Structure 1
Amino acid sequence: MSESVTAPVVGWRRWGAYLALTIVFALACGLLSWWQWSRRAEAVSEIARIEANYDADPRPIAEVLPDDVWDVDAEWTPVVLQGEYLAEDQVLVRNRVRNGSPGFEQLIPLLQDDGTVVIVDRGWLPLGDGEDALPDAVPTPPSGHVEVVARLRPSEPELPGRSAPDGQIPSIHVPTMLDDLDAATYESAYGALVSEDPAPAVAPLAAERPAEDEGPHLSYALQWIAFGVLAFVGLFWAWRRERRIAALPAEEQAAARAPRREHADADVEDAILDRLER
């Protein structure tokens, strides 16, 4: 009597569910890969702006920001400001970290000769040792007429629910700082100080050049694509294995599906002793 062989188990409903899950997983990987590509594109654009603008010759701010409309391609562009600091309206920006150390940014409005006001970030001040959590000293800006070169930065978003003591603000939200000034103002941007003429004897630490590093986004994007492809490879391998097992005699199918047990040292020793006894 011939040995019976079971027909291959197709299981299309079960494998269809596996395929649907694999497609969902691959789509998720594709979306994550696209997100990493987008972040890389943003980083590459930022690097291009730094290379094009950071070391450019200073220009009048009215030429770079006509009608006070922010253009992202203007970021880091040096501008020339001429006028007088409004030292009585200066504020400190809280929670500014530099090389891992907490501190403040010193912001002072500058009234230009044409009557417009621009916020100037004079630089970073470390947190002092006193109990009041303030800088040990806040440098005084040059008095009288001054010529300032600063690099343009966009106004930061307002932080709802964040409060700050008098003389401090939680973010460089330019409109908030300019609310009380009765003058035409530039609200879309502020200037990160490069130089002052006349130069003061003591000044905050100037802003550091931004890092020109696009980060690991490209490798992450490729990894997510690889994960999506490997999911289909794994599904196909599992389907082929199931087909091969289904083609075996019924009494061999359970053993073929059982996970292979790794031999422990004790099992090896027992096998050697059994052979010696024989």
Structure 2
Amino acid sequence: MYRFLLTPRWLGILALTLVAAAVMVQLGNWQLDRYRGRTAINERIDAGSRMAPVPLRDAVPAPTGGSGTAGPAPAERATWSRVTVTGRYDATNVVLVRGRTVDSRVGFEVLTPLVLADGTAVLVDQGWVPPAPGGAIAQPQLPPVPQGEVTVVGRVHPSESGAGPVDRRNGRLETRRIGVPRLARELPYPVHGVYVLLDEQTPAADPVFQAVPIGHTNNWQNFGYVVQWWLFAAMTLFGYGWVARREARRLAGGNRPEQPLDRAAEPAPSTPA
């Protein structure tokens, strides 16, 4: 009954079905890897909120190059950890990061280099501020940075990908993405390969700065894609089996021999008068 499955046409359909199902399974596996990676990020964010701060040098390697260079990226386990560091703010090299949204409002994140005793620096994200009147990209008026030594407690944030150009406008650096290696080229000292999201500061930060919220990644969306792709793979295989069974029934019905008429039910031949 199923000998037709060995014909070239049906063997080709089977091959296409298996390839399609295998691709869908691999797409599901890829989404599963993304789900695991995003879950690990969320776990580090949660762990960082509970941990006591450690010195920056214990979490992030120091830069070893000269001026205008950035240090190595942190180990994955160090991202989102809480650190503390002491130095002096460099008010002449403030970086404005435009197009940042907090509470559905577009404004700027303000990065200020904190210069350490050894001459290296780390970029500190002091928080979010609204733009000046005149539009979303109008540079804000910023309060003066604290003078003298400042102690910062914050979260280790890796450099953002897709760093774009850095402009100097009205005496301030301005960019769209926080690409630490790109920003380091504009600064007169070696820079750590991360930036620090400010949690607290001594002396206290100006209240004009609004803390940048740390959002969890949407890992469950990736898990939903895993289920979706694997269901598609199962449905593809099921569909092949259903079509093959329907074809087998059709062929069986077409080859069924005709049933002979019941002779007893036939009318008797009439006798000529």
> What TM-score bracket applies, with the shorter chain setting the length?
0.7 to 0.9
Structure-1 separation of matches of 2:220 and 2:139? 33
The alignment partner of 2:147 has SS state of coil
Q: 1:34 to 1:172 in 2, by over 3 A?
A: same
1:142 aligns with 2:146: yes
Which of these residues, 6, 10, 28, is aligned with residue 4 of structure 2? Answer: 10
| 1:48 corresponding residue in structure 2 | 43
Letter in 1 for 2:208: A
- C-alpha contact (below 8 Å) 1:78/1:152 kept by paired residues: yes
Mapping 1:97-176, distance limit 5 Å = 97-131=101-135, 133-160=137-164, 162=165, 164=167, 166=169, 167=172, 168-176=174-182
In the TM superposition, what whole-angstrom CA distance separates every residue of 1:57-95 from its partner, at most 9, and x where no partner exists?
A: 111111111344411111111211212110111010122
Question: Unmatched 5+ residue regions in structure 1?
Answer: 1-6, 253-278
Query: What does residue 269 of structure 1 align with?
Result: none
Mapping of residues 209-224 of structure 1, within 5 Å:
209-211=214-216, 213-224=218-229
Point out the more displaced range, 102-111 or 53-62: 53-62
Matched letter for residue 204 of structure 2: A
CA distance in 1, matches of 2:47, 2:108: 29
Match of 1:183 among 177, 185, 189: 189
Distance (Å, rounded) in 2 between the aligned partners of 1:8 and 1:226: 26
Residue ranges of structure 2 left out of the alignment (5+ in a row): 64-71, 258-273
CA–CA distance in 2 between the matches of 1:181 and 1:14? 67
TM-score by length of 1: 0.78
The match for 2:261 is: none
Tell me the residue number matched to 2:100.
96
Please give the alpha-carbon distance, in whole angstroms, between the structure 1 residues aligned to 2:134 and 2:221. 41
| Deviation beyond 4 Å, 4+ runs, structure 1 | 162-165
The letter for the 1-side match of 2:182 is T
Pairing 1:85–2:89 present: yes
Structure 1 residues 219-253: Cα deviation after superposition (integer angstroms, max 9, x where no partner): 3212211211121111111111111111224799x
Aligned-residue RMSD, C-alpha = 2.5
Q: 1:115 offset after TM fit, Å?
A: 2.5
Give, in whole Å, the separation in 2 of the partners of 1:203 and 1:112.
25
Shift of 1:214: 2.4
TM-score (norm 2): 0.80
Judge conservation of contact 2:100–2:106 (CA < 8 Å) in 1: yes
In structure 1, distance between residues paired with 2:234 and 2:245: 17
1:11-90 counterparts in 2 under 5 A? 12-68=7-63, 69=72, 70-90=74-94
- CA displacement, residues 188-245 of structure 1 (integer Å, 9 cap, x when unaligned): 1111111111114433111213226522222321221121112111111111111111
Count of residues paired in the alignment: 244
Q: What corresponds to 1:230 in structure 2?
A: 235
* Identity within the alignment, %: 31
Shift in Å, 1:100: 3.2
